[in-house]
Amino acid sequence: MSNFNDIMIIFCLVLGDSIDDRFTINISRTEGKKIGHEKISSEILNFDHFKKLVCEYSGYTFKANKLRLWKVSISTKLEDKDDKLTKLQKLAQDVQINVHAEIDIKKQLGGVPLNPDDYIKDIFAEDPPDKHIHIIIEKPAEEPPLKRARTEEEGKYSQIKEEPPLTPSPKKQKIMTHGTATLFAGENIPIGLDSFKEIVNRGSTIVDKTLLVADFIECNAVVSLVVRPRRFGKTINLTMLRDFFSIPIHPDNEDYRRELFVDTKIMKERPNLFDDYFCKYPVIFLSLKGYENCKAWSNMQARLCQQLATLYEVHQYVYYKVSHSTLSKSRFDSIISGKFEDGVTESALFYLSKFLNDFHKKKCIVLIDEYDHPLDIAYRYGYYEEARGFFASLFGALLKSNDENLEKALLVGVSRVAKSGYLSGLNNMQVFPMHDQEYADKFGFTEEEVFVILQHYNKSRVEEVKDWYDGYMASNGRIHLYNPWSINKFISTNNLEAHWVDTGGTTIIKKLLWHSSEDFRSKTAILLQKDTISVDIMRDTDYNLLTQCANDVLWTLLYYGGYLTMNDKGHLYIPNREVFTEWKGWLNNRISFNPDTMLEMLLHLRRNFQL
């Protein structure tokens, strides 16, 4: 543990800034310094490392390798009349009134250039004088940096953690291919991880789905809604898009991001598209997971306000631009406080898109995960109308008639509740279910992808895996898909069993099954004979119709939930043995079924799938 005497305090000033804008970088002589996620020993800490610290501490979006550092000793004590300080103050005044000013740091300020390889412990072998400026930072002349927010109130957002400079590291995975499939094969399978960069950086196995970037860019829809069953890789894909498109807050981190995509399909097969779009857009990423415990509308309001406040904190670097407008500044302050306020909270995402566009001079890309989850929870606990009305305003303001600030948007979820839910009125939106051709092979594992995963982990039970987990049909029956969660769990446990059905999410379906009709039960008997049925699937799931227990509502929920799939003729069937185990559980526990009919169903189930 370091003590005060162990700390070396270095005062720094960016050339052209006011003396009041000087900042300190503290370095432990014994413990060194943490830069990004890496702890650098004091023995090897050099001025190349120090440049990254300057970017982290100064509030500027510099490119670290463009900076020049000069060692100086300029007193800022009032009692010292230092001519060098006068020259610095004059330079700052000239910069503020746009007067061209030049200064020879070596001649006029006594500066000594600091080489990147110089060790800090050698240059500052003794503690530098107190209340002096010790290092002058010379800005890169070819691209003046943007200054981050400094609020009127001293240090108003000083506790908000800004993105640190990160050190790129080569991928640990080896590349395996089979047909059109590419696998970054690592030592472990990612169970419970849903962050693209975390999976890549940990060296875990990941299927290359990066051509989703091209599908998204080239899709005609301004707003795309992709609906897939639970655990189909939706969150990983959205975090991958975020890591691809978003402008790094710290500019040096573009190299770190690029390393995530080295040797991926999007980089190798679409290099021009990669160069045109990589790290070029402000991104609003919102995950609506985690509302399970919101048993009242007030609970949901509170959680959402926390999420919006966190989202604003991520982008708090735009605040100085916002602060020129009293109304916008007040709005920003209100949202970041985390308190619900009528008329302000509903427009939070719209104004964030505006703030980001004003700052970056680029329209935003919007990514929303689990868009339907809050509605599901609100319906379950009886405050559906309040939630629907609020989210309709929140998303309507962001996604509808916001052409000035919105480039494109991708929303993902399980249920197709777009038009009847809180996305009603979005004429610029298209919905892409599993049977659609668009995005067909980008969510879920294809047969070729599963084959190469099994090959990497030396699993030879290909036909058994197919029987248990294959059967989902995409693109009107042209593509076979597997649930990624089930495959990953099989690799992890080596057990062929029902993995996916244990992950929950059937509360509403079970309630409807209690009151299903005779026609529904007769069609269920057909399904259990491994046959198909022809029923109508609703274009949208309307929660207001759930209480009517209509068959088409139940079939629709079962299809979008992954308990049924659709063949090339539009007929429905149960996809595989794993999902049959869920149907068996429903039948065993449903007293609403006629006992004779139920016994017949279970016999069919046992004969056809040997359960």
Give pLDDT tens digits for 557-604. 899 999 999 998 989 999 999 998 888 877 776 544 444 454 455 455
Question: Is residue 148 over pLDDT 50?
Answer: no
DSSP 102-157: ---HHHHH--EEEPTTSBHHHHTSSPPPTTEEEEEEEPPTTSPPPBPP--SSTTTT
pLDDT of 547 reads 64
pLDDT of 27 reads 87
Question: Is residue 513 over pLDDT 80?
Answer: no
Average pLDDT over residues 303-311: 93
Residues 249, 280 contacting (CB under 8 angstroms): no
pLDDT of 80 reads 67
Residues sharing a CB contact under 8 Å with residue 130, sequence separation 6 or more, in sequence order: 9
Residue 209 exposed, middle or buried by CB count within 10 Å (0-12, 13-18, 19+) = buried
CA distance 313 to 475: 40
DSSP 40-56: EPTTT-BHHHHHHHHHH
CA distance 339 to 408: 29
Greater confidence (508 vs 97) lies with 508
Rounded to whole angstroms, what are the CA distances from 429 to 222, 310, 411, 423, 609?
6, 27, 10, 9, 41
- Kindly report, residue by residue over 340-349, the tens digit of the pLDDT: 787 789 999 9
pLDDT of 470 reads 92
Residues 336, 316 contacting (CB under 8 angstroms): yes
pLDDT of 7 reads 80
Region of poorest pLDDT, from 74-83, 129-138, 162-171: 162-171
pLDDT of 339 reads 80
Identify the band that residue 146 occupies on the pLDDT scale cut at 50, 70 and 90: very low
pLDDT of 360 reads 92
pLDDT of 138 reads 87
CA distance 543 to 561: 15
The model carries a pTM of: 0.73
Percent of the chain with pLDDT over 70: 83
Most confident by average pLDDT, 46-50, 132-136, 440-444: 440-444
Question: Is residue 65 over pLDDT 90?
Answer: no
Question: Is residue 147 over pLDDT 80?
Answer: no
Identify the band that residue 324 occupies on the pLDDT scale cut at 50, 70 and 90: low
Identify the band that residue 280 occupies on the pLDDT scale cut at 50, 70 and 90: very high
Residues sharing a CB contact under 8 Å with residue 34, sequence separation 6 or more, in sequence order: 40
Percent of the chain with pLDDT over 90: 45
Identify the band that residue 141 occupies on the pLDDT scale cut at 50, 70 and 90: low
Identify the band that residue 126 occupies on the pLDDT scale cut at 50, 70 and 90: confident
Residues sharing a CB contact under 8 Å with residue 588, sequence separation 6 or more, in sequence order: 602
Residues 427, 396 contacting (CB under 8 angstroms): no
Strand runs labelled E in 452-563 = 472-474, 479-482
Nearest CA to 194 out of 377, 381, 357, 369 is that of 369
Query: What dihedral do alpha carbons 444, 253, 20, 328 form, nearest 10°?
Result: -30
pLDDT of 167 reads 63
Identify the band that residue 609 occupies on the pLDDT scale cut at 50, 70 and 90: low
Average pLDDT over residues 114-124: 90
- Residue ranges and CATH numbers for the domains of the chain are 4-138 (3.10.20), 210-432 (3.40.50), 506-609 (no CATH)
- Kindly report, residue by residue over 420-430, the tens digit of the pLDDT: 567 777 778 89
pLDDT of 109 reads 87
pLDDT of 151 reads 39
CA distance 87 to 109: 8
Query: Angle 324-326-329 (CA atoms, 0-180°, nearest 5)?
Result: 80
